[in-house]
Amino acid sequence: MTLRTLYPATEPYATGMLDVGDGHSLYWERCGTPGAKPALFLHGGPGAGISPNHRRQFDPARYDVLLFDQRGAGQSVPHAHLEANTTWHLVDDIERLREMCGVDKWLVFGGSWGSTLSLAYAETHPERVSELVLRGIFLFGESELGWLYRYGASELYPEGWDEFLAPVPQEARGDMVAAYRELLTSADHATRLRAAKAWSRWEGLTVTLLPDPAMLEEFTEDHHAVAIARIENHYMLHRGWLDEGQLLKGAEKLRGIPGVIVQGRHDCCTPPRAAWELKKAWPEVDLQIVADGGHLYNEPGILDGLVRATDRFAA
């Protein structure tokens, strides 16, 4: 079987900025065919922003896709801003964007943190979601946070973990998320930038199945690193403004919404346990565990599953 890959490059047919209040303005773009099947793309991070290749997971002839940079990310302003930046602010932003687009409901597509936000949105506004396509499930459970910042991933990437520890004083290493909060909000620019690069590099190591120097360079570029580190740390510190198990308990609201989860078996950033727990809480979802897959959407097996899912729902 030939693996599916990205659709040809395409440009947005419309772009703009949406003032959502609280001093935030969001960059958005619409791609594909105006009036075709509505879809929403939610990027990861949080803080990572959208890229041109994200558009290419949808058939442009059959979809009308809205993509946007979440608060503080990408081209949204103010850059890397933490005030009035929570999961529930973003859920409200999505509704503003839907109303701006004039659609009643849409397919919601999100990977990694984008899967978390997709679930939070779908459980808050199930009547607005026609289908869900999710990748690399992250539910903000204590075990998931522990895996990334206390134990687990550090066993697989010990040299990278030591680099992650390096900016943090020995006495503060018991809570790496809190320690990095201090560094990332320091009054000293050099301290903030060093911490941002170290935080982003650690994530970059965990998301690839095989080493990818070009991707690590992109992750640690100053502008990108500052946004993803500050915003991601902010969300991790506050546990996503979610109670433990909240998204699993709320999964009953997804009953009746068709869904696909594409999950890498060897995903070291968001291990498969969360996807399996979500499948048990939402039995109707089509969970596809990719035997040779890691975390990133553009790995061959992961991308094949995602494009096949959007093709299926386009029909």
Catalytic residues: 112, 267, 295
**Cα–Cα distance measured from residue 180 to residue 146, given in angstroms and rounded to the nearest whole number:** 15
Local structure of 274: helix, strand or coil = helix
CB hemisphere CA count around 282 (13 angstroms): 28
- Longest CA pairwise span in the chain (Å): 57
Q: Tell me how far apart the alpha carbons of residues 200 and 212 are, in angstroms, rounded to a whole number.
A: 14
CA distances from 170 to 45, 158, 174, 197 (A): 27, 17, 9, 19
Distance of alpha carbon 65 from alpha carbon 54, whole angstroms: 10
Starting from the edge strand earliest in sequence, which strands make up the sheet with 129-135, in order?
Answer: 14-21, 24-32, 63-68, 37-42, 106-111, 129-135, 259-264, 286-290
Helix, coil or strand: residue 50:
coil
DSSP string, 211-272: --HHHHHHHTSHHHHHHHHHHHHHHHHTGGG--TTHHHHGGGGGTTS-EEEEEETT-SSS-T
